[in-house]
Amino acid sequence: MLRHLLNPMDLSVEETADLLALAGKMEANPSEYAHICDGKKLATLFYEPSTRTRLSFEAAMLNMGGSVLGFSSADSSSASKGESVADTIRVISSYADICAMRHPKEGAPLVAATHSLIPVINAGDGGHQHPTQTLTDLSTIYHLKGRLDSLTIGLCGDLKFGRTVHSLMTAMSRYANVRFVLISPPELKIPSYVRESVLERNNIPYTEVVSLEQALPQLDILYMTRVQRERFFNEEEYIRMKDSYILDRAKMALAPEDMFVLHPLPRVNEISVEVDSDPRAAYFRQARYGVYVRMALIATLLEVKVC
């Protein structure tokens, strides 16, 4: 059956657990999985910049013996000539077995999925969702904390445009005793659709605060985010917002010893480099887990046999 991953909810809690378990096995025993995708092709259709997401998708497919093709900017694709996503995916369906798409427009991967003959993975659509970053985040939290339930998660920065925040909150809302502390300036609060469809519908406890210092002592996880410059309507507003939060050593002193700092990366100014050597800084480890969850996802959507 043709399956896509457009939203974290496209995988049930059980399927998510199976996928994280498979990612763990792939990390522990890479040689066992080195040929499971022999002869298969992944197309990476990136209409927006990316470093980690695109390269970790490509590394994931190469690690399993498959090959990759694609483009890394809209300028180098026929989108620049006016081709629609629907037409592009119809054609790519006969060139590749699976595709990962990043697009500046919310819903573009959904449009692609409705016209596709191959699995479509949403690799980030505008300010909407980024489900494979969420799988990476869940894997990281599980590695660090040994659980996905009973956690107080602080999300800090651009909660309005940050698609990784929307996807992580959506996924985490399905685990028991999860509480969110939403840390942002009033201008960058989470959108009302996330508040209604994720928090209120599921009765998830949350608080909204402006002060990071005030939030830090109560957190198990701090998820820092970059202010999403490319989604702002004017540059002055971005400049006014961009340094709203800077996590430094002095602020880390307010955090519990067992609180971990995650960040989807790229970081701009929001985490001072002096925090990198703190054992609680987990963002570079997080980027590494992204390869294994994407291997597990590709194998699952392609329905290749794995042990």
Active-site positions read: 52-53, 81, 102, 130
Of positions 264, 270, 289, 294, contacts ligand NCD by CB under 6 A = 264
For ligand NCD, how many residues bind (rule: CB under 6 A)?
11
DSSP 85-123: HHHHHHHHTTT-SEEEEEESSTTHHHHHHHT-SS-EEEE
> Token pair 């596709």 is at which residue?
116
For position 133 contacting ligand NCD by CB under 6 A, the verdict is yes
User: Does 134 participate in binding ligand NCD (rule CB under 6 A)?
Assistant: no
- Beta carbon of residue 227, minimum distance to ligand NCD (angstroms, whole number): 9
Spatial strand order in the sheet of 260-262: 206-209, 178-183, 151-156, 221-224, 260-262
262 CB-near residues (< 8 Å, 6+ apart): 137, 140, 141, 221, 222, 223, 224, 282, 283, 286
Between 36 and 153, name the residue whose CB sits nearer to ligand NCD: 153
What does DSSP assign to residue 81? G
Instruction: In whole angstroms, give the CA distance from residue 246 to residue 163.
Output: 20
Nearer of residues 116 and 164 to ligand NCD, judged by Cβ:
164
Strand partners, 208: 182
Q: Residue 128, interface with ligand NCD (CB under 6 A)?
A: no
Q: How far is the CB of 56 from ligand NCD (least distance, A)?
A: 9
Report how far apart the first and last C-alpha atoms of the chain are (Å, whole number): 20
Residue 213 and residue 168: Cα distance in Å, rounded? 22
101 binds ligand NCD (CB under 6 A): no
List the x/- string, 221-240, binding to ligand NCD by CB under 6 A.
-----x--------------
Least distance (Å) between residue 187 CB and ligand NCD:
17
Residue 185 in contact with residue 253, Cβ under 8 Å? no
| Binding segment (CB under 6 A) for ligand NCD, from list 16-24, 107-115, 259-267, 272-280 | 259-267
Site string for ligand NCD, 171-210 (x = CB under 6 A): ----------------------------------------
Q: How far is CA 190 from CA 128, 164, 169, 206, 211, in A?
A: 11, 12, 10, 12, 16
20, 171, 247, 265: which one binds ligand NCD (CB under 6 A)? 265
Contact residues for 37 (Cβ-Cβ < 8 A; gap 6+):
61, 64, 65, 66, 298, 299, 302, 304
Could you say whether residue 286 binds ligand NCD (CB under 6 A)? Answer: no
Is position 163 an interface residue for ligand NCD (rule: CB under 6 A)?
yes
Burial (Cβ within 10 Å: 0-12, 13-18, ≥19) of residue 204: middle
Among 52, 103, 128, 160, binds ligand NCD (CB under 6 A): 52
| 130 counts as binding ligand NCD under rule CB under 6 A | yes
* Least distance from ligand NCD to the Cβ atom of residue 223, Å: 11
- Nearer to ligand NCD (CB atom), residue 130 or residue 294: 130
Binding site for ligand NCD (CB under 6 A): 52-53, 124, 130, 133, 163-164, 226, 264-266
